[in-house]
Amino acid sequence: DALPIYTATSGGGIYLGGSYTCYNSIIWGNSSSNANEMYVDDAFNGSMVMHHSLYRNGANDVVDPMGAITATDNNLTVDPAFADATNGNYQLTAASPCIDAGTPDTTGLNIGTTDLAGSARVAGSAIDIGAYEYDGALPVKLLVFKGILRNNRAGFEWRTATEDNFNYFELQ
């Protein structure tokens, strides 16, 4: 699920004033003067059960005075490795711990068949945590890619569509 990154007074990512269940979500990079990521308002008996999600859990990230947030089932508290969060690209990179780390059985969850980018929602052995599924596709659009032989040495030549500073391919 996608939760926008924004700034708030309490609970930059989530302000809990009721009971919620959270599946396959990333809550990361928000800011607030009182709990950057999640704030549980004890006046409203807020609570949350988190399943297969990732959230930032450093100083002033989660304020939960009643202990109302329950993290179960493979939750993570590490950097999600977004492609370029500074510029609003929250897609996962190959280094993301969120890949194939979501709920193994999505029966009953209203996830749809595609992610926010229109890609197939489950691309690996399990759903990815977050709003985007990592499909492992090249991060560039190739216009030309060919093998060449020059002075008895094999090499490659390529031309990409709009990508800048793209100097090499890693072959596996």
Would you state the pLDDT for residue 38? 87
DSSP assigned state of 60: T
Question: Residue 52: left if φ>0, alpha if ψ -120 to 50, beta else—which one?
Answer: left
**What tens digit of pLDDT does each residue of 75-91 get?**
999 999 999 998 889 99
Tokens of 145: 């890619």
The model's pTM: 0.73
Residue length of the chain: 172
Which residues, at least 6 apart from 90, have a Cβ–Cβ distance to it below 8 Å? 2, 26, 82, 83, 130, 131, 132
Ranges assigned E (strand) in 59-128: 62-63, 69-72, 82-84, 89-92
Residue 8 pLDDT class (50, 70, 90 cuts): low
> Most confidently modeled of 117-121, 157-161, 167-171?
117-121
**What tens digit of pLDDT does each residue of 96-106 get?**
999 999 998 88
Cα(107)–Cα(135) distance, rounded to whole angstroms?
21
